[in-house]
Structure 1
Amino acid sequence: MTYCQAVRQMDSNNPNVHYHNHEYGFPLHDDDELFGRLILEINQAGLSWTTILKKKDNFRSAYSNFNIDQIANYGEGDWNRLLNDAGIIRNRLKVNAAIYNAQQILSIQNNYGSFKNWLDHHHPLSKPEWVKVFKKHFKFVGGEIVNEFLMSTGYLPGAHEPSCPVYAKLQALK
């Protein structure tokens, strides 16, 4: 089997290998999980994905299991708690974006029934079109963040090389 170049030479204990084989490019159906992936992608900006994967469980815990309702209602105490949590990325802009974006998703859920329905409603779009839609609704969502979020959740192609066995698994899901 020939896996994607990105993980071909990695040790099987590297968190990127598990992510590549079991998560990257696989559709997510749960709104909280979709939002969790967006939080992780936002926090990756300027850092390595390996750093984010190693802190993934810390993010899940710090951000109330990625519960959109809870995060949308975070107050100053939660904000301070997050900025003092060494287990996650302590960046004001990223923390602010998570809270704001949760509030935006609540509005989207009211209008579309779910965040996933909203994504499905806009699918398929080109990357530039997706970036415009995301920038209209969310904070801290540049082109690379939007691209990786959408590729990692199956809304944009390119997560795996056609020769990768994971690519075949994903094609079978369609």
Structure 2
Amino acid sequence: MSYCNYIPMMKEPSRTLHQNYHDYHYGFPIHDDNELFGRLILEINQAGLSWETILKKEESFRNAYDNFNIKKVAYYTEKDRERLLNDVGIIRNKLKVNAAIENAKTILQLQDKFGSFEKWLEYHHPKNKEEWVKLFKKTFKFTGGEIVNEFLMSIGYLKGAHSENCSVYHEILKTNPMWLQRK
């Protein structure tokens, strides 16, 4: 199997952790709103940290945020915020915790208007990175350029997740030919 350049250069156990994400998640479309929300939470929490840190904590994030259930997170109380800020398994940053809760509320509104978070994304497709960043900054909390770029690459809305000589790139094309039309 041919990989993007960074995978073969990694040492264990990092290589296995990153390879799993690279081979089965990165760049593949997500059709479940809760999972889209979860990916957004992970990307927001990665800001200022390594992606490896987030991958290691992914299960803890999933547990802390009720399996990324948008409806549950949108109705989190101050007690829930405090619980998250004291959870050593996740990133305990008040701005990032607040962003997750506020973004869940926003996604509920988008679901009401568009039917789903995914349909909201599709409604705005295609856009280039700068257009997406502007839209996300207007719509969501804690979504700067790099967060938006990585989120959208990770779900197949922007190119760049894989090099063209990577076998995963070709696997994504088989399952999602529209990927070539992404900007």
Q: Which residue of 1 aligns with 2:169?
A: 167
Distance 1:78 1:39 in 2: 16
TM-score normalised by L of structure 2: 0.93
What do residues 112-157 of structure 1 show as CA deviations (whole Å, max 9, x unaligned)? 0000000011111000000011011100000000000000000001
On the 8 A contact 1:24/1:153 being kept in 2, the answer is: yes
**C-alpha offsets along residues 2-59 of structure 1, whole Å, 9 cap, x if unaligned?**
3101212224643111100110000000000000000000000000000000000000
The correspondence of residues 52-131 of structure 1 with structure 2, limited to 5 A, is 52-131=54-133
Per-residue CA deviations over 1:89-126 (Å, capped at 9, x if unaligned) read 00000000000000000000000000000001111100
Q: Distance in 2 between matches of 1:45 and 1:157?
A: 20
Runs of 4+ in 1 over 6 A off after TM superposition: none
Contact 1:10 1:17 (C-alpha < 8 Å) held by counterparts: no
SS of 2:63's partner is: helix
Tell me which residue corresponds to 2:7: 7
CA distance in 2, matches of 1:172, 1:12: 30
> TM-score by structure 1 length?
0.98
Specify the code of the residue in structure 2 equivalent to 1:159: A
Match of 2:180 in 1: none
Q: Please say if 1:38 is aligned against 2:40.
A: yes
Q: Give percent identity, aligned residues only.
A: 62
- Measure, in 2, the Cα distance between the counterparts of 1:96 and 1:147: 21
SS in 2 for 1:41: helix
Matched AA of 1:162: E
CA distance in 2, matches of 1:22, 1:123: 23
Alpha-carbon separation, structure 2, partners of 1:64 and 1:31: 14
Q: Deviations over 1:62-99 (max 9, x none)?
A: 00000000000000010000000000000000000000
Corresponding residue of 1:50: 52
User: What value does the CA root-mean-square deviation take over the aligned residues?
Assistant: 0.9
Q: Please point out which of 22, 26, 41 is paired with 1:24.
A: 26
Q: How many Å separate the matches in 1 of 2:139 and 2:125? A: 16
